[in-house]
Amino acid sequence: MDLELTGKRVLVTGASKGLGLGIVRAFLGEGAEVVAVARRGTAELDATGATFVAADLARADGPRRMVDAVLAGDGRLDVLVNNAGGGELPDDAFGDTFDGDDDVWSEVVAFNLLSVVRVTRAALPALTASRGAVVNIGSNSARVPGAAPLPYAAAKAALAMVSRGLAERLAASGVRVNTVSPAGVRSYTHEGPDGYTARLAAHLGMDHATLLEALPRQGGMLTGRLAEPDEIARAVLLLASPTLPSAIGQNWSIDAGAVKTT
Ligand SMILES: NC(=O)c1ccc[n+]([C@@H]2O[C@H](COP(=O)([O-])OP(=O)(O)OC[C@H]3O[C@@H](n4cnc5c(N)ncnc54)[C@H](OP(=O)(O)O)[C@@H]3O)[C@@H](O)[C@H]2O)c1
């Protein structure tokens, strides 16, 4: 199937590992030109041949500076994938997030919601010129009552609404906005020795490997295993493809049935 992504210029945030790296590889496999953003490069990202741009998107001025740098040499942009999210949650995020000050909320919302708004705003003139596509990476946490950490789930729920609202606002200019919402995906978040799951295990007094094994079933994933980054990347490719012009304002769950509603 030709997704008509050959030669398209694609910007992927949070691209050095996990889902982002899978998304970079998928676009390159379709013949696209990829600019990959993270704070630090990795050997795995280097090996893809994507162009790397370093940026801290959690800083208020990070998104604008990053987009300026990406467009400085070549002003074209056909696809924006806002994948950066999650983040290094402060220790307080593992307890009761109401029991404390605003710091955890501010930090988590700034990275998971505001940074996406800022990147998209900065990239919009270029995306409008190309009648391009935006794909945001959400989370099943946005749809599961009781999902934790609550500030993360709330920020991803707000991101889903921002995506839907922007889809309405931008459709007339030819820019399509959609979301892909995974449940657990194999990534540093879960497997890294200081990733989210390892830190949660420590907070619960559990062994990391035991929690990792139990997590997919506990989260309602009917496969009983974490999804692969490639699976999420395939959904992103489809939503970014100009061969699906009617895919507008959608929020595709690729979550192994974790969200228990119709
Ligand atoms: N993994 C899952 O189970 C899962 C499930 C649902 C949704 N998601 C969503 O999927 C997306 C990717 O998650 P992941 O698990 O693949 O994450 P990950 O493995 O932790 O990778 C995160 C990526 O974002 C970059 N990043 C982190 N902080 C950044 C910052 N301040 N500025 C710029 N880049 C930054 C990281 O590189 P540097 O550290 O070098 O900056 C890395 O490239 C997130 O939006 C997450 O919420 C993940």
Per-residue confidence at 178, pLDDT binned at 50, 70, 90? very high
d(CA 136, CA 130): 18
Give the burial class of 40: count Cβ atoms within 10 A of its Cβ; 0-12 exposed, 13-18 middle, 19 or more buried: exposed
Mean pLDDT in residue range 162-177: 98
pTM: 0.98
**Which of the four pLDDT bands, split at 50, 70 and 90, describes residue 98?**
confident
Amino acid letter, 117: V
pLDDT surpassing 90 at residue 87: no
Checking if the pLDDT of 255 tops 80, the result is yes
Q: Is the pLDDT of residue 100 over 90?
A: no
Taking residue 71's Cβ as centre, other Cβ atoms within 10 Å add up to 18
What residues are paired with 146 via a beta bridge? none
**184 in contact with ligand 1, CB cutoff 6 A:** yes
Tell me how far apart the alpha carbons of residues 59 and 201 are, in angstroms, rounded to a whole number: 29
Quick check: 240 and 135 in contact, CB under 8 A?
A: yes
Judged against a pLDDT cut of 80, whether residue 150 lies above it is answered with yes
From residue 97, give the alpha-carbon distance in Å to each of 44, 74, 202.
Answer: 35, 43, 17
Does the pLDDT of residue 95 top 90, yes or no? Answer: no
Query: Does the pLDDT of residue 105 top 90, yes or no?
Result: yes
pLDDT band per the 50, 70, 90 thresholds, residue 132: very high
How many H-runs (helices) and E-runs (strands) does the chain carry? 10, 7
Which of 15, 17, 2 lies closest to 81, judged by CA? 15
In the DSSP assignment, the letter for residue 136 is E
Determine if ligand 1 sits within 6 Å of the CB of residue 153: no
pLDDT higher than 90, residue 78: yes
Q: Round to whole Å and give the CA distance between 196 and 19.
A: 15
The whole-number average pLDDT for the span 227-248 is 98
Arithmetic mean of pLDDT over the chain: 96
Residue carrying structure tokens 């595709």: 252
Atom 1, ligand 1: residue with shortest CA distance: 185
Is the minimum distance from the CB of 48 to ligand 1 under 6 angstroms? no
Domain chopping of the chain, boundaries = 9-185+229-245, 193-226
89: confidence class by pLDDT, cuts 50, 70, 90: confident
Which residue shows structure tokens 């009552």?
145
CA of 189 to the centre of ligand 1 (A): 7
Cα three-residue angle 9-112-190, rounded to 5 degrees? 90
Q: Is 152 a catalytic residue?
A: yes
Contact 162, 115 (CB under 8 A): no
pLDDT-based confidence at residue 91 (cuts at 50, 70, 90): confident
In whole angstroms, what is the distance from residue 185 CA to residue 153 CA? 16
Q: Is 52 helix (H, G, I), strand (E, B) or coil?
A: strand
Judge if the beta carbon of residue 188 lies within 6 A of ligand 1.
yes
Residues β-bridged to residue 33: 9
What does CATH list as the number for 9-185+229-245? 3.40.50.720
Distance 7 CA to ligand 1 centre (A): 26
pLDDT at 181: 98
